[in-house]
Amino acid sequence: MTKKIGYLCRGCSYQGRQFPQGVCPACGSSQIQRVQDSEAAETTLPRWRLLLLAGLWGYLAYALWDKFSV
């Protein structure tokens, strides 16, 4: 994956640094999305999901500990 793409076309997922006239040079679509880098575009996990995941892992660890400690 490349970093610091610039723009991403939602129509054909074309990625480029510049989209002349605000349209995709590959398919002509105007539905383009500005992205900072590939990681920011794909890993946009909300913080509450990370907290939920941490909570689930914490519960799992607690459940295992409770099961084996009895």
Range in contact with Zn ion (rule: CB under 5 A) among 9-17, 33-41, 42-50, 60-68: 9-17
Give me the half-sphere count of Cα atoms (radius 13 Å) on the Cβ side of residue 67: 6
- Nearer to Zn ion by C-beta: 33 or 51? 33
Q: Is 30 helix (H, G, I), strand (E, B) or coil?
A: coil
- Nearer to Zn ion by C-beta: 33 or 55? 33
**Residue 20 near residue 35 (C-beta atoms within 8 A):** no
Q: Which of 27, 51, 54, 60 binds Zn ion (CB under 5 A)?
A: 27
11 binds Zn ion (CB under 5 A): yes
